């Protein structure tokens, strides 16, 4: 019999803003309509298996701190994998989220060889399928872990060793097919080791070509098996590698263009990865939207004083409101959603702590969605922007972007000989104050 650690925790319910119960939703009301869509359908919330169930609370200075019946952080037997699965679904159901995400190795028993890997993954997939059926919890995305095992120390797709490239192909083939059988809605590739530590030992052109070919093979296989979900890259500038080839959304777009993949691959934007790259979270969403590659979001924050990926739960409504404005401006998700790629601090050792973090993060997100929707519905912000660019709608503006040549525009400017041209006020402070009225 599985030891169920969440048995005493009541399902989390919406109780409204006045509720004093810290294990209730004050803002996340799944069926509430916001701009013609339910909150549930706007946010498409997912819990990540790895941080909440596979990580044992260890860090580079210390051992795991979480005492769980499935013994996270240790070699996984089938029995432990089953225990973890039972507890994970107890958690998803009590939290009331529609989705989860996982890497192959998060859920399966430890494997040493490809045949063992295939057997263990299929074994957990079968049990997971039954859990999903019984609970109604779906898979937002699947992914293969191509960074933890020592074989991937020099990368998976970008390894200098073609045999390791083949191992990576094996793991991705297996997990893409598992994701499809589980009716997963998307497939993500995060390339923590697809980069380098020093150029002294690295042939960058060779590695980029390998990565381009690998991704094309994944897309070819997706079409071959008829997987309908999106394929996504998750940009991150560094950590664990010193430099990662998918450093931010703009860089990924250039890579996709180079290897003919702009119509096939989108991005999974992680808030903390955006800030590590020196961008704001909302900058990354707006860039992806402008370039037509917006797909998914990992909604975890960093710490302003730490230069690494702390994977904390979001807790600033003001910050997230700006991000949610960009999500709504982008038209929202298709098959994407918000995945909590976040973990509790290693001193938060109780089972209950896993609820406090997710409940808080979900409520902050829900409130940010309500704020952003009010701002969009109010209309003043977007009207200001529209007006700012209104000149491009005039005959002159249209011709300038259309049939006019550089010489014609230059001659026109010379003929006007006008020194008074200035843009109107950008009104930044006025707009910031406007936003704050909704936060």
Assess whether the previous peptide bond of 191 is cis (omega < 30° from 0): no
Compute the least distance from the CB of residue 283 to ligand XUL, in Å.
18
246 interacts with ligand XUL by CB under 6 A:
no
Contact call for residues 121 and 174 (beta carbons, < 8 A) = yes
185 interacts with Co ion by CB under 5 A:
no
Strand ranges (DSSP E) for 225-293? 230-233, 243-244, 265-270
Compute the least distance from the CB of residue 339 to Co ion, in Å.
7
**CB closer to ligand XUL out of 143 and 321:** 143
Nearest Cα neighbor of 10 from 366, 313, 352 is 352
Interaction pattern, residues 68-107, with ligand XUL; x per rule: CB under 6 A: -----------------------------------x----
**Residue 321 site contact among Co ion, ligand XUL, none (CB < 5 to 8 Å, cut-off depends on kind):** none
Given the residues 29, 51, 90, 103, the one annotated as active site: 103
Sole binder of ligand XUL in the list 29, 125, 264, 309 (CB under 6 A): 309
Compute the least distance from the CB of residue 432 to Co ion, in Å.
29
**Residue 53 site contact among Co ion, ligand XUL, none (CB < 5 to 8 Å, cut-off depends on kind):** none
In angstroms, what CA-CA distances link 360 with 26, 90, 376?
9, 19, 24
Q: Is 137 left (phi over 0), alpha (psi -120 to 50) or beta?
A: beta
Taking the C-alpha atoms of residue 6 and residue 239, their distance in angstroms, rounded to an integer, is 33
> How many residues make up the chain in this entry?
439
Compute the least distance from the CB of residue 159 to ligand XUL, in Å.
17
**CB closer to Co ion out of 188 and 362:** 188
62: which DSSP letter? B
Given the residues 106, 246, 298, 341, the one annotated as active site: 106
Taking the C-alpha atoms of residue 124 and residue 283, their distance in angstroms, rounded to an integer, is 38
What is the greatest pairwise CA distance in the chain?
Answer: 86
Interaction pattern, residues 101-140, with ligand XUL; x per rule: CB under 6 A: --x-------------------------------------
174 interacts with Co ion by CB under 5 A:
no
Q: Which residues pair with 196 in a beta bridge?
A: 243
Taking the C-alpha atoms of residue 121 and residue 107, their distance in angstroms, rounded to an integer, is 8
Strand ranges (DSSP E) for 190-329? 195-196, 230-233, 243-244, 265-270, 294-298
Sole binder of ligand XUL in the list 82, 298, 319, 357 (CB under 6 A): 298
Is 395 in the active site? Answer: no
Is 120 in the active site? Answer: no
Chain positions 255 to 314 lying near Co ion, rule: CB under 5 A, are: 270, 298
Compute the least distance from the CB of residue 192 to ligand XUL, in Å.
6
Sole binder of ligand XUL in the list 341, 354, 357, 362 (CB under 6 A): 341
Question: Residue 178 belongs to what H/E stretch?
Answer: helix 162-181
Compute the least distance from the CB of residue 169 to ligand XUL, in Å.
17
Name residues whose C-beta falls within 8 Å of residue 163's C-beta, 6 or more positions apart in sequence. Answer: none
Sole binder of ligand XUL in the list 26, 94, 222, 236 (CB under 6 A): 236
312 interacts with ligand XUL by CB under 6 A:
no
Size of the site for Co ion (CB under 5 A): 3
Contact call for residues 374 and 438 (beta carbons, < 8 A) = yes
Interaction pattern, residues 136-175, with ligand XUL; x per rule: CB under 6 A: -------x--------------------------------
Chain positions 267 to 286 lying near ligand XUL, rule: CB under 6 A, are: 270
Nearest Cα neighbor of 265 from 162, 190, 201 is 190
CB environment 239-258: b (16+ within 10 A), e (fewer): eebeebbbbbbbebbebbee
Residues that bind Co ion (CB under 5 A): 270, 298, 341
Residues that bind ligand XUL (CB under 6 A): 103, 143, 190, 192, 234, 236, 270, 298, 309, 341
Which residues form the catalytic set?
103, 106
């Amino acid at each position: 019999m599985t030891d169920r650690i969440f048995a005493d925790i009541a399902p989390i319910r919406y109780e409204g803003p006045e509720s004093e119960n810290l294990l209730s939703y004050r803002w996340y009301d799944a069926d509430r309509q916001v701009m013609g869509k339910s909150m549930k359908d706007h946010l498409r919330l997912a819990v990540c298996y790895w941080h909440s169930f596979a990580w044992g609370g260890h860090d580079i200075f210390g051992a795991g701190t979480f005492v769980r019946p499935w013994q996270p952080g240790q070699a996984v037997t089938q029995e432990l994998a089953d225990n973890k699965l039972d507890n994970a679904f107890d958690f998803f159901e009590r939290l009331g989220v529609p989705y989860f995400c996982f890497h192959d190795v998060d859920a399966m028993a430890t494997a040493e060889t490809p045949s063992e890997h295939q057997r263990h993954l299929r074994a957990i997939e079968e049990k997971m399928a039954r859990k999903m059926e019984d609970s109604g919890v779906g898979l937002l995305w699947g992914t293969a872990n191509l960074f933890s095992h020592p074989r991937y120390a020099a990368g998976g797709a970008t390894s200098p060793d073609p045999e390791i490239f083949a191992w990576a192909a094996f793991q991705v083939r297996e997990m893409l097919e598992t994701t499809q059988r589980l009716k997963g809605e998307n497939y993500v590739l995060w390339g923590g080791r697809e980069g380098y530590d020093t150029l002294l030992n690295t042939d960058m052109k060779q590695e980029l070509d390998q990565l381009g070919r690998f991704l094309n093979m994944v897309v070819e296989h997706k079409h071959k098996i008829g997987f309908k979900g999106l394929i996504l890259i998750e940009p991150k500038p560094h950590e664990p590698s010193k430099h990662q080839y998918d450093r931010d959304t703009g860089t990924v777009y250039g890579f996709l263009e180079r290897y003919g993949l702009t119509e096939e691959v989108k991005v999974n934007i992680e808030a903390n990865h955006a800030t590590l790259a020196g961008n704001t979270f909302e900058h990354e969403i707006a860039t992806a939207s402008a370039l037509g590659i917006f797909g998914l979001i990992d909604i975890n924050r960093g710490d302003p004083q730490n230069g690494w990926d702390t994977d904390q739960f979001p807790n600033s409504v003001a910050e997230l409101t700006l991000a949610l404005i960009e999500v709504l401006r982008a038209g929202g998700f298709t098959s994407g959603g918000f995945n909590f790629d976040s973990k509790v601090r290693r001193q938060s050792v109780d089972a209950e702590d896993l609820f406090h973090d997710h409940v808080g993060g979900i409520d902050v997100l829900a409130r940010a969605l309500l704020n952003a929707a009010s701002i969009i519905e109010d209309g003043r912000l977007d009207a200001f922007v529209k007006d700012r660019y209104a000149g491009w709608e005039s005959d002159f503006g249209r011709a300038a972007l259309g049939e006019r040549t550089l010489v014609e525009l230059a001659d026109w400017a010379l003929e006007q000989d006008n020194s008074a041209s200035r843009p109107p006020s950008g009104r930044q402070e006025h707009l910031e104050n406007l936003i704050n009225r909704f936060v």
